[in-house]
Amino acid sequence: MIEDLSLFHAQHPIIVTSAALILGLCIGSFLNVVILRLPLILRRQWVAEAHRILNLELSSENNYVTLTRPYSHCPTCKQGILPWHNIPILSYVMLNGKCASCGVKISSRYPVVELITSLLTAFTINAFGITYSGLFGCLFTWALITLSFIDHDTNLLPDDITLPSLWLGLFANFFELFVDFRSAFIGAILGYVFLWFIHHTYKLVMRKEGIGYGDFKLLALIGAWLGWQPLFLIVFLASIVGLIFTISRVLLSRNQIRSIAFGPYLASAGWVMMIWGDVIMDWYLMLIGLR
């Protein structure tokens, strides 16, 4: 079956790429829901747990949220979104970026997430083909996109995504879809320990918190998928890009920036290494004279 699909991809690359773009748009629409609702779900769970531990009565407010309920609606007028107003990107363009009921501007975040997911899905399929590596590569890509935007919005990297994704990476590499299992196993451990060491060294020297614990798990996740070999380069690239963006934000922003999410930069560097890792590693080894 997979061999037949790979042959079809080789014979009809435009059709496969188009299908990947459409699939990415649909997945991106779902990721928008996860990005928006998962932090709300987790906060409600944490509040309920805190009340239970402190033996306090929890108010019975009608704000129960899941990934499927309530149905998609305008946050301003509360009007439900009709199916033909919920087509990825196309509906946003047709509605001129405004709610069909009340005319309030819709955040451009929604089509941005859909477009990014669409393009990265197509890149992944074209890089690995219609194979098990391509399928798992898409899952890895979607997890990184979701974690990046949640971290950007809330400075949270939910265990509900990082931990299952870490185990999924180890499972994929049990069959050596990306690297051998030994490299993946060491990568998961080293990814966590590396940032843990940097965090505690920074805390010891500067007397304040630095990298968050969620970043430890994110790098462990990336190590489980890509192995231990590219981890240093991933952290280096993420740090350089993060530093550039942070300086730009400081110079352009009038308000003081209190905290910077490192997760999006780690995730971006991890995805780049998944697609172009061999080329980057060869260039790096040549640069330091080891090849």
* Shared-domain flag, residues 146 and 290: yes
Q: Of 108, 123, 151, which residue sits at a domain end?
A: 108
* Shared-domain flag, residues 89 and 221: no
Percentage of the chain lying above the pLDDT 90 cut: 57
83-132 per-position pLDDT tens digit: 888 889 998 888 888 887 888 888 899 999 999 999 999 999 999 999 99
* Shared-domain flag, residues 140 and 98: no
Query: Per-residue DSSP letters for the chain?
Result: -HHHHHHHHHH-HHHHHHHHHHHHHHHHHHHHHHHHHHHHHHHHHHHHHHHHHTT-PPP--S----SSSSPPB-TTT-PBPPGGG-STTHHHHHTTTB-TTT-PBPPTHHHHHHHHHHHHHHHHHHHH-SSHHHHHHHHHHHHHHHHHHHHHHHS---HHHHHHHHHHHHHHHHTTSSS-HHHHHHHHHHHHHHHHHHHHHHHHHHSS--S-HHHHHHHHHHHHHH-STTHHHHHHHHHHHHHHHHHHHHHH-SSPP-----HHHHHHHHHHHHHHHHHHHHHHHHHTT--
* Shared-domain flag, residues 70 and 171: no
* Shared-domain flag, residues 8 and 72: yes
In-domain check, residue 121 = no
Domain boundaries, position 16:
1-108
In-domain check, residue 123 = no
44-60 per-position pLDDT tens digit: 889 888 888 988 887 76
Q: What is the pTM of this model?
A: 0.93
* Shared-domain flag, residues 191 and 242: yes
Q: Of 75, 108, 141, which residue sits at a domain end?
A: 108
Domain count, the chain: 2
In-domain check, residue 25 = yes
* Shared-domain flag, residues 94 and 139: no
In-domain check, residue 192 = yes
Average pLDDT over residues 164-192: 97
* Shared-domain flag, residues 184 and 291: yes
In-domain check, residue 247 = yes
